[in-house]
Amino acid sequence: MTWIYVAIGLGVCGLAVLGIAGARVVVAARTLKGEIAEATAQLEPRRVRLTGRGDETMPQAAYDRG
């Protein structure tokens, strides 16, 4: 009978460890999402400025060359 309690206790401890690890992953994903949003906000004005030049930064497609 003692082994049943030990097995159940170990199972609960295992689930607790998985829950803590899952919570850490969620927190890390939220942090990464914020960092990506910040980097995108910093790079967006540069992207707009560079894509406005057109021919200087991007070669023409084969069907546009005439």
Global pTM reads 0.60
Answer whether 51's CB lies under 8 Å from 57's CB. Answer: yes
pLDDT at 45: 86
Tens of pLDDT, residue by residue over 39-65, are: 999 998 888 888 775 555 566 666 665
Q: Count other Cβ atoms within 10 Å, centred on residue 33.
A: 10
Residue whose C-alpha is closest to residue 55's, from 45, 46, 65: 65
More confident residue, 64 or 37: 37
